[in-house]
Amino acid sequence: MTVLFGTLGWRPQSLIPSIRSTEGLERVVFYHSDHAKSRDARAKVMEFCRSLGVPATGVELSDAFDLLESAGRIRDDLRKEKASGTAIRFNIAGGTRLMSCAALLVCVLEGIPATYVHDETYREIQLPLLRISYGAGLSPKQRQVLAFLVKNRDKRFSETGLAQAVGVHKATMNHHLRKLEAMGAVERVTDPADARRLIIRPAPGMELLIG
């Protein structure tokens, strides 16, 4: 059985082809904005699903123009579904450009098969996404350091302080941080409270990578 996720804008036609083409469709979950036309489109999609006897859930995003917030919400829902072992598909065609981008990001990071529906022909286009977890590009220790920094984003850690907090030697921490910095996953910035001190902070959006 497959759960179909989707983003929805003003046109239900951007989602309906995927509802039709999904084999063994168990449920449909779609995200839309609070715009009146999006709500109209939601009603049409719900009606279509009802006629097929497929349960559907429309999720109204609080801010469809906030890419990272939308991506965070979508990722949390996808992970819950993934944990239950159900097959997942994602149609990223509808909604605001930011909603589509957020969905694409999550699909790449989580290795979820994604499709796009052409604006004029309504033909489904499969996106060349791999079913691999992108975060696997980090070593377990790099992941641990980054996860710690993401979890404690509001705290200020120097390199030495971070080594103590994570429980590794400061030379080992320096090695991991140089690698993470080269990948653009962390940044060294001057401490606003003490200009002589450099603090380490995760790059924006790394929450999506680590979870």
Partner 1 sequence: MRTLIATMGFDERRVLPSLRLLPYDHLVLVAGRDTFRSSGFRQLRTLEPDLETIRVNPFDLAGCLDAIRQSIRAAASRGPVRISATGGTKILTMAGIFAAFEEGIEAWYCDPEPIRLPILRGVRLIEGFAPAEQMLIRLLRRRNRLDRLVSAVMARGIPRRSVLGAVRSLEKKGLITAELEAGRAFVSPTPRFELLRAHLQEPPGKA
List residues near partner 1 by CB under 8 A: 65, 67-68, 92-93, 97-98, 100-101, 104-105, 108-109, 111, 113, 116, 118-120, 125-132, 134, 136-138, 182-185, 203-209
Q: State the minimum distance, in angstroms, from the CB of residue 156 to partner 1.
A: 20
Contact of 27 with 4, CB cutoff 8 Å: yes
Strand runs (DSSP E) across 110-165, as ranges?
114-117, 124-126
Return the number of the residue (34 or 205) whose C-beta is nearest partner 1.
205
Place of tokens 């999609």: 45
Q: State the minimum distance, in angstroms, from the CB of residue 183 to partner 1.
A: 4
Name the β-bridge partners of 201.
187
Return the number of the residue (52 or 136) whose C-beta is nearest partner 1.
136
Q: HSE (CB half, 13 Å, CA atoms) of 50?
A: 7
Return the number of the residue (132 or 198) whose C-beta is nearest partner 1.
132
Q: State the minimum distance, in angstroms, from the CB of residue 189 to partner 1.
A: 14
Return the number of the residue (56 or 95) whose C-beta is nearest partner 1.
95
Q: State the minimum distance, in angstroms, from the CB of residue 79 to partner 1.
A: 15
Q: State the minimum distance, in angstroms, from the CB of residue 171 to partner 1.
A: 22
Q: Which of these, 5, 136, 19, 130, lies nearest to 71 by C-alpha position? A: 5
Return the number of the residue (9 or 58) whose C-beta is nearest partner 1.
9
How far CA 191 is from CA of 165, 173, 194, 197, 200, in Å, comes to: 18, 19, 5, 6, 9
Q: Which distant-in-sequence residues (6+ apart) come within 8 Å of 43 by Cβ?
A: none
